[in-house]
Amino acid sequence: MTLDLIDSIQGESGVAHTIVTNVCEGVADCVDACPVACIHPGPGKNTVGTDWYWIDFSTCIDCGICLQVCPVEGAIVPEERPELQKTPG
């Protein structure tokens, strides 16, 4: 499948969600709620000293459930923003 085709299937809402690494408090409510299990723990701590999680953009289906369950305002944004989200490796 081409990227163009994937984009057209995903439609208007078709971008991944992003966990803002240094706003996330590592509560992990999002992890169990994600229907495709694409939220993973990051290593170490973020700049505010808490655990942090990251979303695998290539697996995220943009369902928005993580954003609904996250208790931390601003920790998840409904856009693909790789500059805001650290990923391991």
Show Cβ contacts of residue 46 under 8 Å, excluding neighbours closer than 6 positions: 21, 22, 24, 26, 52, 86
Q: Are 25 and 75 in contact (CB under 8 A)?
A: yes
Q: x/- binding map, residues 58-87, to ligand SF4, per CB under 6 A?
A: --xxxxxxx---x-x--xx-----------
From 21, 34, 46, 54, residue interacting with ligand SF4 (rule: CB under 6 A): 34
Binding site for ligand SF4 (CB under 6 A): 17, 19, 24-30, 34, 36, 38-39, 53, 55, 60-66, 70, 72, 75-76
